[in-house]
Amino acid sequence: MAYEARNYEQLLGIEGLSDPLMKNHFTLYQGYVANTNKLADALNQMLKDGKAATPEYAELKRRFGWEFNGMRLHEYYFGNMVKGGNSLDSGSELYGKLAADFGSYDNWQKDFKGTGAMRGIGWVVLYLDPVANRMCNAWIGEHDTGHLAGGVPLLIMDVFEHAFMIDYGLKRADYIEAFFKGIDWSAVAQRCANAPKATV
């Protein structure tokens, strides 16, 4: 069954991110969905044709991770944003967990923003490690490298240039501040609440 692109037009008009930037970003995301489907179809056909041991199959299989993660990370990213944002209740379980795991909420925020400000293209992900029941921020480069095995993504920020350059040029720190104003903390809390418990 084919993957379908989700509609995120409700984010148009979000403070700090222009409509032209967001529309370009939506188009980019739709391309990842389309390419994920094309690769899935091509891989299935090659499997039926007995070509699973070929270099071509191996390359398409590697490429699938890039396209799939490009699709899914954008869905997490757009899904943890909302016009006007909403604040994280300092009395909430999520706030308490961030404070406990990072020493304070401010420490978590500094670490997340600092990770996003690093040189390079990629993503910043607040993960919950369900084995240790501990949160950590991680850098994902190139969509498919740097993921924490078994980690549950809670908050995702895109720091590829397409996410900010139309509006901010090279001022990534200004984009990060704008992103924080649009975080949908209720979506992040829901992801945390729904996280599976895991053992290894």
pLDDT tens digits along 133-186: 999 999 999 888 889 999 999 999 999 999 999 999 999 999 999 999 999 999
Asked if 186 and 97 sit in the same domain, the reply is yes
pLDDT at 199 over 80: no
Asked if 39 and 72 sit in the same domain, the reply is yes
Asked if 54 and 140 sit in the same domain, the reply is no
pLDDT, mean of residues 33-60: 97
pLDDT, mean of residues 98-112: 98
Backbone angles phi, psi at 155, to 5 degrees: -135, 130
Helix/strand/coil for 169: coil
pLDDT at 124 over 80: yes
By residue range, what is the domain housing residue 44? 18-79
Residue numbering of the annotated binding site: 25, 74, 158, 162
The model's pTM is: 0.95
In a domain, 8, yes or no: no
Average pLDDT score over the chain: 96
Asked if 118 and 73 sit in the same domain, the reply is no
Residue numbering of the annotated binding site for Mn(2+): 25, 74, 158, 162
* CATH number, position 150: 3.55.40.20
* CATH number, position 74: 1.10.287
Tokens of 149: 């095995």
Measure the CA–CA gap between 81 and 10, rounded to whole angstroms.
Answer: 10
Amino acid code (one letter) for 183: I
- CA-to-CA dists, residue 125 to 23, 56, 59, 139, 165, angstroms: 23, 32, 27, 7, 20
In a domain, 59, yes or no: yes
In a domain, 27, yes or no: yes
Asked if 168 and 115 sit in the same domain, the reply is yes
In a domain, 12, yes or no: no
